[in-house]
Amino acid sequence: MDRLKDQALALQGELSALRRDFHMHPELGLHEFRTAERIEAELDRLGVEHRRVGETGVWATIRGAGTGGGAVALRADIDALPISELGSAPYRSQNEGVMHACGHDAHIACLLGAAKLLAQSRERFGGEVRLAFQAAEECANTTQGFFDLGFLDGVRRVFGLHCAPDLPTGTVGLKPGPNNAGVDRFTITVHGLSTHVATPQLGVDALYIAAQLVVALQGLVTRRGDPVEPVILGVGTLHAGTTYNALAETAVLEGTTRTVTRETRARLRREITRLAEATAELYGGSAELSWVEFASPLINDARAAAEVRALAEEAWPEKRFVTDRAISLTGDDFAEYILDVPGVYAYLGTGDPSRPETLHNIHSADFDLDESALPLGAWLHTASAIRWLNEA
């Protein structure tokens, strides 16, 4: 793998230029039209076949010329966030109010770097590598569009990565087991009956029911859940009523759950539904719930994580590979790729202590990253794919 490492390091300038181009032209989820065209132009230059998934997703395929077979998959997300950039870098966003504040520009650059390395190394593997440049990870579950087209059919391993400003450059988090929370959004609509506040017995106060729910929902975590298992149940909005002196006829709560196991995710959903319906009925009203499933818990396959770590430690002894990174209760729909296919999501350290701008957390208006991490990111994609295909 020494030659591959040298090839990856030689891409530093190219990867930085790609990342900066995407950073200057960020686009929101489902509107990544220029981004997709730019990705396709790079793939065309490399002689890599590709197709659109939906309007702005891109699926690329690189077929090996060596022995072995099967398929592995690599994934990068491509959308930006509705954030106005505060940084003053020469490559700052040119689209007002939109910014690559989560490192997706770097994810694209790393995967395009992997596409180049794989295209140059076809004789080293058989089978095929599928690359997903996925739209709208931040705002919609667009994994299904890839799955419906058979992206994971016959795939034996999946790899992806995310920038991590909390890890120093040269450090990679490769943690088996839970890494990120499952994320769901719920909406509870409480139906009551409006009347004058002076005659509450003639109506049903939807706002009162909703207020009871805001408090009672926390008991599902503190009194129904395992106290050592991370769980978040948060209510973010409550809208009710039309005037100060009438009972509210309708109240709407919106909130989110964050869970780290599939079992807790399903249990909490059942309990929230039961609690809302029972509380509303107790006070004479009714409640209906709707759910949006953003992402499953992201659980790295232990064997796949160990395989990537062993491979990386051999090739990059000067780097640090850690398995004790804390679970994050943010979500990432890479989790859907590894629900039924063994895979691993790595966290690529991009924080340089000598450059404060690289230490800001993701989704910050000041976010930036240390681009010297990009060749390692491209290598991780490439080397993992080649190893897994050669084991088929």
Domain-terminating residue out of 246, 262, 295: 295
Q: Is residue 221 located within the same domain as residue 349?
A: no
Q: Is residue 76 located within the same domain as residue 192?
A: no
Q: Is residue 137 located within the same domain as residue 6?
A: yes
- Residues in contact with 1: Cβ distance below 8 Å, sequence separation at least 6, in sequence order: 311, 314, 315, 383
d(CA 361, CA 285): 43
Q: Where are the alpha helices (DSSP H) in 136-205?
A: 143-148
Q: Is residue 257 located within the same domain as residue 308?
A: no
Q: Is residue 127 located within the same domain as residue 88?
A: yes
Give the structural domain span for 244.
182-295
Task: State how far the alpha carbon of 181 is from the alpha carbons of 208, 229, 350, in Å.
Answer: 31, 11, 22
What local confidence, expressed as pLDDT, does residue 1 receive?
A: 59
d(CA 81, CA 27): 8
Q: Which residue has the tokens 């005659």?
A: 199
Q: Is residue 85 located within the same domain as residue 144?
A: yes
| Helix, strand, coil share of the chain (percent; to 5) | 35, 30, 35
d(CA 290, CA 271): 14
Q: How many domains does the chain have?
A: 2
Task: State how far the alpha carbon of 180 is from the alpha carbons of 78, 177, 357, 359, 386, in Å.
Answer: 19, 9, 25, 20, 26
Q: Is residue 275 located within the same domain as residue 313?
A: no
Task: State how far the alpha carbon of 149 is from the alpha carbons of 111, 129, 292, in Å.
Answer: 21, 16, 22
Q: Is residue 243 located within the same domain as residue 343?
A: no
Domain-terminating residue out of 274, 295, 316: 295
Planar angle of CA 236, 242, 247, nearest 5 degrees:
90
pTM of the model: 0.94
- Tens of pLDDT, residue by residue over 158-192, are 999 999 999 999 999 999 999 999 999 999 999 99
Q: Is residue 169 located within the same domain as residue 197?
A: no
Q: Is residue 212 located within the same domain as residue 247?
A: yes
CATH no. for residue 261?
A: 3.30.70.360
Q: Is residue 245 located within the same domain as residue 291?
A: yes
**DSSP letter string, 215-240:** HHHHHHHHTTS-TTS-EEEEEEEEEE
CATH no. for residue 371?
A: 3.40.630.10
What local confidence, expressed as pLDDT, does residue 112 receive?
A: 98
- pLDDT-flagged residues of the chain (< 50): none
Q: Where are the alpha helices (DSSP H) in 195-342?
A: 206-222, 262-282, 302-315
Domain-terminating residue out of 295, 314, 333: 295
Q: Is residue 202 located within the same domain as residue 330?
A: no
What local confidence, expressed as pLDDT, does residue 392 receive?
A: 63
d(CA 383, CA 390): 11
Dihedral-angle region of residue 111 (phi above 0 means left; psi in -120 to 50 means alpha; beta otherwise): alpha
- Tens of pLDDT, residue by residue over 246-281, are 999 999 999 999 999 999 999 999 999 999 999 999
